[in-house]
Chain A
Amino acid sequence: MKNNLKTLLAGLLLGFMILSGCTKKLDLAPNDAVTNDIILSSEIGYKQALAKVYNTMMVTGPDGSGSGDLPAQIISDAGNSDFLRNLWYLQCLSTDEAGWTYANNTDPIGIHQLNWTSVNFSVKCVYYRAYYIITLANNFLIESTDAKLSSRGISGTDADKVRLYREEARLIRAYQYSLLMDLFGNPPLVTDATPIGSTVYPEQVGRAGIFSFVESELLAIETTLADPKTNEYGRVDKSAAWSLLARIYLNAEVYTGSAKYTEAITYCKKVLAAGYTLHSDYKELMLADNNLNGDEFIWAFPYDGLSTQTYGGTTFLIHGPAGVPGNISGCSGTWGCIRITQQFVGLFDAQDVRGQFYTNGQTLIMGTLLGDATQGYSSTKFRNLLRNGGPAPRIDAGNTFSSIDFPIFRLPEIYLTYAEAVLRGGTGGDNVTALGYLQQLAVRGRPADPNAAAFAQLNLQYVLDERGRELFWEGHRRSDLIRYNQFTTSTYLWAWKGGVASGSAVDGKYNLYPIPSDDLTSNPSLVQNPGY
């Protein structure tokens, strides 16, 4: 028996010996991915990390048009999940600028009818895309402190470059918060002060609280960003920070209850002093080689048919418009989705080239919303062609993806903001200058009109309408209508507003989008917007 036990014991000990030798085998890592300390050991690594902060606003995911940064719980079709497309739904499709024909697509249901809920795909998509970008920016800031840089041995001009990247990440974070503030009112605030992956619940700070966060961030970096027009194309500089400040100041009364038109004028003037000029031909603004429009573009998303493939972005804006043949839009053809309400078309007269309406086979009146892509005019504003009419040089085999850059800030917005801020009582500007800017836009927009300058009027409704004409489909319309109190009210009705062909007023709650139900579940500290 003694021997038996000895053998048993020996066997067990042998087992434990082998075991102890093998526990190390439980620490593993993939071969082609690396941790923070490795990738961020050089300035190039930081630049690649910054590139993700930028390109998350342009493409749906890390690996081409079918990939998604957001999980299926947020949006089941990854290809449909990009930032710009969904922002466009919330800002343009919700207005007179566009109606949506159902064509086997998964989402923007209810947006044009001003009838959405906290589980709407587009609503969720914009919200979570914004927070993903914010988290990437926070991570960048956490990983790029001076202490981290020195611990990773980055110094001198390399460290200076990374410090500039930091400021750009802060601007993008501020830009995203400005959108969340505009769309959702009272989103939770999370900054680089909170470690990522922690279980701390981000808290709401009120719309005014977000406003002051965005304002203070922009004021902090307006001097440290690159000088206007000195940075690489596609990256932000001081003029982008000023443009964003001008934009939030113009809307400050909506956001906080107190007007900041004077500040809006101040920051418009900073941009105006930076040397931008109107590009001569409006019809050249949204073409495949519009990266040449540096005269007018302050900051644009640089799309490329091969390197930034997405079914969103400007790809969506060449395929989306109904009826437009592929040879006109410069792609494989229309998806037959987007049309324009007759009310919006009515803002343009025959002299105005900016609508670039496509009417062949389309009716003016949007008699039905769903099912018939021929009701309502379409547009050829976005064309994946060169100025000389030739095809975009960088195009995929399927002729799908656009190379048209999308301007986030361009000079006319500054002109219009200046004019409106002056009209609304801001100081530091003057009527003559304001009218001059409006005239410049009218002259460019009405090239065949000998009296184009006389078309411009210095009054608020004209400015609103002119914003519609000039910035059509560029993501401004909903904010503008809200600022003029025309979005939900009966003051201005358009086809299918409120789900009625002739349009109807809707509940004022629709001035804000609801916080997605997912976040209310995961974050018990959140309070939903009124009415949802």
Chain B
Amino acid sequence: MCNFYTFALTTKTVNVCFMKKTIQKIPKILPVLILFVLISFTSMAQNALSGTVTDSKSGAPVSGMTVTIKGTKTSTQTGADGTFKLTAPAGKNTLQFTSVGYVTQESTSADGIFRISVVQANQVLNEVVVVGYGTTRKKDLTGAVSTVTSKDFQKGNITTPEQLIAGKVPGVSVISNGGQPGSGSTIRIRGGSSLNASNDPLIVIDGIPLDNSGISGASNALSFINPNDIESFSILKDASAAAIYGTRGANGVILITTKKGKGGEVKVNFSNLESWARISDKVDVLTGDQVRGIINANGTDKQKSQLGTANTDWQDVIYRTAVSTDNNLSISGGIKKLPYRLSLGYAYLNGVLLTDHLERQSVGLNINPTFLSNHLKVDLNLKGVSQKTRFADQGAIGGAVSFDPTQPVYSGNGNYGGYYEWLEPNGDLILNRPNNPLGRLAATDDEQKPRRSFGNLQLDYKFHFLPDLHANVNLGYDISKNTGTRFIPSYAAVGYNINDPYEGGSIRYGEQRKQNTVFDFYLNYVKDIAKIKSRVDITAGYSYNGYDQKDYNFRTYTAVGDTFAGTIAPGIKYHREEHNLIGIFGRLNYVFRDKYMLTATIRRDGSSRFNEDNRWGTFPSVALGWKIKDDLFRASRVVSDLKLRASYGVTGQQDGAIGNYSYYSYYNTTGVNSAMLFGDSTILAVYPTAFNANLKWEETTAYNLGLDYGFFNNRITGSLEFYYKKTKDLLNQVAQPAGSNFSPYIIANVGDMDNKGVELNLNLAVIRKRDLTLDFNFNTTYNKNTITNLTALRKDANYIGQLVGNADAVNGFIQINAVDGPKNTFYLFHQVYDKDGRPIEGLFEDINRDGVINEKDKYKGHSADPSVYYGFSANLIYKKFSMGFVARANFNNYVYNNIASNFGRYNVVAGAYTIGNASTSYLDTRFQGTTDLQTSSDYYIENASFLKMDNINMGFNVGKLGKYRIANLRLNAVLQNVFTITKYKGLDPEHGNGIDRNLYPRPRTLSVGFNLDF
């Protein structure tokens, strides 16, 4: 039995034959397969022509397609199974395949057997892409825009939406913030254009720019978006695409479109996913026996007397197998002419850290009817999410690494909850000592109930007298409210009150409300002007975004509800901050002869965060596109698509670095614990805030050169992009002359930085057969970040740079942002080693040869950011079975092992007061901990390049079920965080800022689930 794969390759047709058993091993023989593709086979002539036509996208057979022998009038139509047969005159072996809705295609077969994959016409011609304030035809795109639709999403137990596209898009790095459910990710598009300001992209969901500043009570603002509701992502990467978002576009824009109702008969989908997660590895620390050995050999009598007899692995104690469930029900259809989609989600997600969980209920409603004989389109989206979270005390993670392993978990009596704690001889708790990690977890009941609702009503009116003109109004809201309580019982060792054991513990309330509003209005005029072979698409509009946040003030009480001495009830109910953004924008898309494209946009933005003189900024962009295919490769069968794009644009940034009112000074009142005693009275002081009247936007000017390509009937597609981004007026912490302001550092617009990069995206539709499809995606990004200036006096040689990267260590900052280097460059001493290659404690290279080891001997080393990163995914569908994987790799990302530097020395075992535990790094170094300079050693820097198998997924389409065969069942299984290949010695090589400390471990998760459609 032989399966055929047909490729149109240059002008010849290639037939590749594999035995069936080989097919099942396809991922392994991939290189061979690609090799075969590239080899052409000799042709053989035949008269009887036959074959099958399938849809390029779905792989399904296409019936009713007209098949004509080129140069004759002989034709036939494909049958229900997509097959056809023809008899052709000798020498005529070129067939034309035509059908309404499909791109006409020609093909030649040497052996007379055709395996044709046809491309839907609208897919190519009219496929639209969501861009800012509207959509555009994909073929008219001139900017760097990547789209990811639901079929390409990452699979498995995914709790926040951005993880759906991890590893899927070149130029977009998505690093999860750790293993806590809902903890989200750090997203960087093209390296990030800011130093101190936010490098997070703007996220717009169905036209509502989300306030990404976080919501109290939730570990991540994006955790309120149910990933199951998402239809697609559009990622605007270059300034041409993002400039329409003006001041918020500098780090790219992610547009999320949620699933809509499609009308027609009722469709119900139910999905269930059950997950089991475990930590995949532990921090390597000493065992109880090792600690006993070390202390008995080196410790004082007092230390020896503290040793216990247990061998407790505290990490085993605090982690668990976390079982989670995620269920989603969606109903879509049309009530008369009212298309709707209703979705309900319920997830109960447990963290691998004991007590940690997130319960999420979500509801989404979309209705999108049209009125006035299709002149008025209404699109109403409403989303509501209610979360109930218990946050585990993550201090237990570090505690489990450093707590004495010779002690038991439980003390054997009921004091302090029954947990072993460090006690005085009389049984009193010793304050200021590490607490039992399990006791911390059990005692800290931090329950938060954040709720968020966002939605919008979008009205799109096509003028009756001028149907080419649309008016679009978008009214949106994003409100959230969190109420929470953090309770610590009075018996707990954490927060113990030695003066009054019955008055310990605490209850702390919290409440936050946010109310954000969106109002957009724009006019859109689209006209094909056949006379001059032109198409114009003009948009002009106005946008208002209001952000309003209230944080409520509460008094903290003891566990039994008494007040704490020295505290007072808050005088002011809440602290409220607002900021508003107003923008006017315009966009022109002009297409000439369907081949030459021009896009120009402009936005003028005003922000309440700046004083009147600097409040407004203008952000233009222009981009050109040329469909080379239509000019130079018109007849080519190899080149199915080729488009060159070039763009220039300016975008801004203001988020993250500055407060809402930083441009003027105002007075705040000190808290009751920072008061002043004048005589017998306690007086609350007032103090003026530091300010900078001259603040303005950061401005990023970006250039992009892109090439979109498609070869062999678009079986090979992708894009290649080159970009250059230059940011000026960086919002930087700038030292002020002492005595000139209310802080020695204020945020000021000083400094320049650039990012240069290359992105490559490659999609291979390796196999397109009725029963078998195989797709590969490969993407890679090279980014080089360089700081070009940081001082008001350009390139001031006296200025070494900004120290950043505050490690959990003695000497604080371990990185530097300095001119001519990339941001987050490690700035440490150069370790000296003995003849056996062991680091000598406290001995570093005297780099400036002045005989003293001090700050001046630190050197600029590697950067924390990778130079190159890759994403690689594959999807195989064979009949009812599907499988795929997603892998990612980073190269030359360096990590400071803060666990080893903090816990890799003798005096953390011996402890200042009580026995502790050390990283096994101590066994390598035998550092004593006698010099605080040691943590500033480059010994702790490791190359953390890695290859991660993010997930391997499998699905099986069982098919129609039941007597009436109405319900379709699909089963799936996903293994996430499958393996990591790295030389890095710590727990996980992936850290957003290059500092590895107390990361909530990213677990390995197995999920199984089913999908039921009817």
Interface positions of A (Cβ within 8 A of B): 3-4, 7-8, 11-12, 14-16, 18-19, 22-23, 25-36, 38-39, 45, 47-49, 51-52, 54-56, 58-59, 61-65, 67, 69-74, 76-77, 102-106, 109-110, 115, 117, 119, 127-128, 131-132, 134-136, 138-139, 187-188, 190, 194, 196-202, 232-235, 302, 304-309, 326, 332-333, 335-336, 368, 370-371, 373, 391, 394-399, 517-524
Contacts and interface: CB of A to CB of B under 8 A. Distances in A.
A71 B503 contact: no
Contact of B565 (A49, A202, A394): A394
Contact of B661 (A7, A28, A335, A517): A28
Given A196-B665, A523-B738, 17 more contacts: A18-B544, A55-B675, A102-B930, A132-B742, A132-B743, A135-B742, A136-B687, A187-B738, A233-B679, A234-B679, A306-B565, A336-B913, A517-B800, A519-B744, A520-B798, A522-B737, A523-B737
Given A7-B466, A196-B740, A333-B430, A308 B666 contact: no
Contact of B738 (A139, A200, A202, A524): A202
Contacts of B325: none
B298 interface: no
B711 interface: no
27 contacts: A15-B523, A18-B521, A26-B582, A26-B606, A30-B576, A34-B667, A35-B666, A48-B684, A51-B686, A55-B676, A62-B674, A62-B685, A103-B912, A109-B932, A132-B742, A196-B740, A197-B741, A201-B737, A232-B678, A234-B677, A307-B672, A332-B498, A370-B932, A391-B499, A397-B504, A398-B498, A519-B738
Contacts of A199: 740
Contacts of A196: 665, 740-742
A62 B431 contact: no
B661 to A, nearest CB: 6
B674 to A, nearest CB: 5
A522 to B, nearest CB: 4
A243 B806 CA distance: 42
A48 B668 CA distance: 11
Interface in B732-766: 733-745
A62 B574 CA distance: 18
Interface string B670-714: 111111111111111111110111000000000000000000000
A210 to B, nearest CB: 13
Main secondary structure of the interface of A (DSSP, over half): loop
Contact of A77 (B582, B669, B803, B812): B812
B578 interface: yes
B691 A30 contact: no
A293 to B, nearest CB: 15
B799 A127 contact: no
Interface stretch (B363-371, B630-638, B851-859, B975-983): B851-859
A106 B739 contact: no
Contact of A39 (B431, B498, B667, B741): B667
Contacts of B465: 3, 7
Contacts, number: 339
Contacts of B793: 524
Interface in B494-531: 495, 497-499, 503-504, 521, 523, 525
A51 B928 CA distance: 46
Contact of B431 (A55, A71, A332): A332
A34 B744 CA distance: 22
B521 A190 contact: no
B849 interface: no
Contact of B739 (A69, A74, A202, A520): A202
A64 to B, nearest CB: 4
Contacts of A61: 674
B3 interface: no
B435 to A, nearest CB: 13
Interface residues of B, number: 111
Contact of A51 (B577, B676, B739): B676
A28 B498 contact: no
Contacts of A521: 735, 791, 796, 798-799
A30 B739 contact: no
B489 to A, nearest CB: 14
> Among B578, B855, B932, which residue has the most Cβ atoms of chain A within 10 A?
B932
Nearest to A1: B466
B223 interface: no
Nearest to A139: B688
Nearest to A75: B812
Contact of B540 (A12, A58, A109, A138): A12
A391 to B, nearest CB: 8
A383 B31 CA distance: 77
A3 B465 CA distance: 9
A33 B667 CA distance: 5
Contact of B564 (A69, A190, A397, A518): A397
B742 A200 contact: no
Nearest to B495: A397
A289 to B, nearest CB: 13
A63 B671 contact: yes
B811 interface: yes
B667 A36 contact: yes
Contacts of B674: 55, 59, 61-64, 67, 308-309
Contacts of B521: 14-15, 18
A127 B799 CA distance: 19
Nearest to B812: A76
Interface in B529-566: 540-542, 544, 546, 558, 564-566
